[in-house]
């Protein structure tokens, strides 16, 4: 199978501090890949590197390659607007815009030139359905998104990402601010979305990684220690440090 994302010898420095060291990783399309590891080991940094969000931080420099569909996103000619449309991101805190539910979802398509009401209506309905939110909001599309619960806001943010038709969705601890029921709904959604998208999720919750992901990547001090099928990694870790981490001996 052709890899969706191929990372080769990728280093990232915040000033003098090297946060990622010679990362090599291949991510398979239509799978969920989980990043686990103790705080500060570089999970979010690698996630943010996959749509060049780190470019905005002063003092960041990188070397190596991250290719998506075979094309190095660190090439000088990369169109960052197009990259971030293709590689969407969901953060820890739901961050809907303080505008209506409808306008949140229509925001990206409008920026990308879609203006007709009929077309926007279609996108809003389709993506809210894909995000398992339509039934809960269809009668209040023109009310503020800020009136939704945290779990609904997070599903709205996912609909907003889906509305610009990405291939890859990056999720940085997307359930850590949610209650258990909202977390379960979000996990169901992640599993459902992988048939159409490639998903990478950072999580501190090992049960969550075990429930939603196909592959798990264990990080320590800016390095990848182990990558394996999720079930294999949690039942028969190959590296002693992985075993220590998943059995709660540090982290």
Residue 39 engages ligand ATP in binding (rule: CB under 6 A): yes
Under the criterion CB under 6 A, does residue 49 sit at the interface with ligand ATP? no
Contact 227, 25 (CB under 8 A): yes
Binding segment toward ligand ATP, per CB under 6 A, in 33-41, 124-132, 156-164, 174-182: 33-41
Residue among 5, 23, 25, 41 that touches ligand ATP (CB under 6 A): 41
- DSSP per residue, 144-211: BGGGS-HHHHHHHHHHHHHTT--SEEEEESTTTTS-HHHHHHHHHHHHHHTTTSEEEEE-S-HHHHHH
- Between 43 and 160, CB nearer to ligand ATP: 43
* Residue selected from 5, 7, 42, 175 as contacting ligand ATP according to rule CB under 6 A: 42
Q: Which is nearer to ligand ATP, 55 or 121 (CB)?
A: 55
Number of residues that bind ligand ATP (CB under 6 A): 12
DSSP lists the bridge partners of residue 14 as 17, 60
Phi-psi region of 248 (alpha: psi -120 to 50; beta: other; left: phi over 0): left
Give which of 72, 12, 7 is closest to 217, Cα–Cα: 7
Applying CB under 6 A, does 45 fall inside the site for ligand ATP? Answer: yes
Query: Shortest distance, CB of residue 41 to ligand ATP, whole angstroms?
Result: 4
The 148-167 site mask, x for binding ligand ATP (CB under 6 A), equals --------------------
Q: Is 19 helix (H, G, I), strand (E, B) or coil?
A: strand
Under the binding rule (CB under 6 A), the answer on residue 91 touching ligand ATP is: no
- What is each CA distance from 92 to 193, 201, 204, 243, in whole angstroms? 18, 11, 11, 27
Minimum CB distance to ligand ATP, residue 59 (Å):
7
How far apart CA 210 and CA 232 sit, in angstroms, is 10
Min CB(19)–ligand ATP separation in Å: 4
Tokens of 41: 């080991």
Looking at residues 54 to 73 of the shown chain, list those that interact with ligand ATP (rule: CB under 6 A): 57
Residues lying near ligand ATP in the complex (CB under 6 A) = 14, 17, 19, 37, 39-45, 57
């Amino acid at each position: 199978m052709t890899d969706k994302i191929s990372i080769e010898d990728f280093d990232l420095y915040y000033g003098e501090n090297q946060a990622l060291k010679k990362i090599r990783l291949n991510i398979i399309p239509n799978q969920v890949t989980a990043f686990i590891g103790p705080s500060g080991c570089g999970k979010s940094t690698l996630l943010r590197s996959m749509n060049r969000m780190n470019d905005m931080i002063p003092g960041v420099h990188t070397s190596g390659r991250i290719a998506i569909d075979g094309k190095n996103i660190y090439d000088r000619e990369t169109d960052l607007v197009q990259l971030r449309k293709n590689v969407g991101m969901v953060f820890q805190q739901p961050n809907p815009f303080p505008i209506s539910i409808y306008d949140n979802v229509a925001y990206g398509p409008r920026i990308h030139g879609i203006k007709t009401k009929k077309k926007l209506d279609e996108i809003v309905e389709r993506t809210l359905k894909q995000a398992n939110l339509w039934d809960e909001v269809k009668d209040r599309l023109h009310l503020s998104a800020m009136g939704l619960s945290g779990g609904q806001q997070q599903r709205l943010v996912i609909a907003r990402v889906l509305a610009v038709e990405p291939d890859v969705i990056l999720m940085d601890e997307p359930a850590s601010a949610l209650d258990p029921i909202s977390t379960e709904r979000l996990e169901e959604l992640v599993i459902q979305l992988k048939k159409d998208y490639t998903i990478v999720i950072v999580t501190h919750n090992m049960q969550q990684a075990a429930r939603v992901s196909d592959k798990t990547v264990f990080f320590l001090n800016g390095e990848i220690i182990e990558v394996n099928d999720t079930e294999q990694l949690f039942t028969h870790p190959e590296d002693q440090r992985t075993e220590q981490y998943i059995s709660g001996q540090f982290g």
